[in-house]
Amino acid sequence: MKKILYFTIGLIVIFFSNTFLNDLNLFIFNIKPNLTLIYLVYISIYIGADKASLIGLLLGLVIDISVGKYFAYYSLIFFLIGFFCGNLKEKVFKENIFTILLLILISSFIDNLLSIIITGFSISNIGVYFLRLSEGVIINGMISALLFYPLNMILIKVDEQW
């Protein structure tokens, strides 16, 4: 039952990202925060690798079908992030903001780096790619810092009641 609830909340996050945040242009490259990635990292350390990788795969598939430019890109990325962060369930302190921020920054870095590689990497534009990569990581880090306490309280309530 929890898996369905986590997946449903993830669908709401995807809907919010694709509708309300779609016109949000931050910094130079029109980069918007990847709220689904942030949400997936949060739930992964609460529910473990098996469930988080399955939810990540399904949420990524929804994104790939609805707005994805490259099919199975987000499915693969979210599956791997859910598996990696879910394996850290027993090893990290969930209520520590710095641990969560570090995991989100690493996940955002991997996501943005793979996005740059897939869209066509050119050595002549290395400065532009570095700027885009750093902006994506910084934006996700700032948003996740703002969402830490509300999301943490919601996940603790869901974990206790379900």
What are the tens digits of pLDDT across the range 73-121?
899 999 999 999 999 988 888 778 888 899 999 999 888 888 778 777 6
Residue 26 has pLDDT above 60, yes or no: no
The burial of 123, by beta-carbon neighbours within 10 Å (0-12 exposed, 13-18 middle, 19 or more buried), is given as exposed
- Residue 65 CB contacts under 8 Å (≥ 6 apart), including other chains: none
- The CATH number of domain 2-161, selected from 1.10.3720.10, 3.40.50.720, 1.10.1760.20, 3.30.930.10: 1.10.1760.20
Backbone angles phi, psi at 24, to 5 degrees: -80, 120
Maximum alpha-carbon separation in the chain: 54
Gap between the Cα atoms of 41 and 60, Å rounded: 13
Mean pLDDT over the full length of the chain: 84
Identity of the amino acid at 142: M
The burial of 106, by beta-carbon neighbours within 10 Å (0-12 exposed, 13-18 middle, 19 or more buried), is given as middle
Kindly report the pTM of this predicted structure. 0.86
Give the pLDDT band of residue 24 (cuts 50, 70, 90).
low
